[in-house]
A and B are shown apart, each in its own frame.
Chain A
Amino acid sequence: GDSVTQMEGPVTLSEEAFLTINCTYTATGYPSLFWYVQYPGEGLQLLLKATKADDKGSNKGFEATYRKETTSFHLEKGSVQVSDSAVYFCALSHLGGGNKLTFGTGTQLKVEL
């Protein structure tokens, strides 16, 4: 079945540092890929998405590129802020099949001044 693997956290960075959170997936066919963010005490919010190979999703300074050859969808940001501290979830979905999102385990990011 489908699965998503994320790097273990927590990841602790200084403000303005470069961020990479690794995500790889196992799936049949051509899933869509997502990054969701969960701020403390809140539900998940869609951060960005990519629906086909080589697509780049971007939002709020975050980017991720759908790499089918390496089955990866790494999240990057050039300069993190304290307000980016949250848990980040990589996820995939297929059209049909209940439209289920398959999530990774989440990576906690802490950004310090």
Chain B
Amino acid sequence: EAQVTQNPRYLITVTGKKLTVTCSQNMNHEYMSWYRQDPGLGLRQIYYSMNVEVTDKGDVPEGYKVSRKEKRNFPLILESPSPNQTSLYFCAAGVHSYEQYFGPGTRLTVT
């Protein structure tokens, strides 16, 4: 079964405490991407990766980092989280944008 998994699903943390949200896919897709979903704004792309060791900024990359050391994993790193990064985060994987598979989401609260 095609699957994108994210961990953790829920996270409450404090300002400035570094955190990592993991994303893993079992479909061997080259393309992976991170989005954040906020009320009234829809989904906005944070970072994307076209292949191993190839990453680039999306529309809202400030305050985030990513890495793509292996094809299946694409972690999202918040070095110093702030309250404005409280959001619902989705990882996606696909051959291309035509058919992306989304993970179940990670709800992050930064206090």
A positions within 8 Å CB-CB of B: 4, 32, 36, 41-46, 49, 51, 89, 93, 95, 98-101, 103-106
Contacts and interface: CB of A to CB of B under 8 A. Distances in A.
B55 to A, nearest CB: 10
Nearest to B48: A98
B97 A100 contact: yes
Nearest to A36: B102
A4 B90 CA distance: 19
5 contacts: A41-B104, A43-B103, A51-B98, A98-B48, A98-B56
A41 B59 CA distance: 25
The interface residues of chain A, by DSSP majority, are classed as: mixed
Given A43-B4, A43-B90, A43-B104, A103 B98 contact: no
A100 B60 CA distance: 12
Interface of B: 4, 31, 33, 35, 40-45, 48, 50, 56, 58-59, 90, 92, 94, 96-100, 102-105
Contacts of A105: 40-42
Complex A-B, nearest 3 residue pairs according to Cβ-Cβ distance, in ascending order:
A43-B102, A99-B97, A93-B97
Contact of A99 (B44, B48, B103, B104): B48
Given A43-B105, A45-B102, A101 B43 contact: yes
A43 B102 CA distance: 6
Contacts of A93: 97-98
A95 B77 CA distance: 27
Contacts of A104: 42
B42 A101 contact: no
A51 B102 CA distance: 20
B48 A100 contact: yes
A12 to B, nearest CB: 18
B96 A99 contact: yes
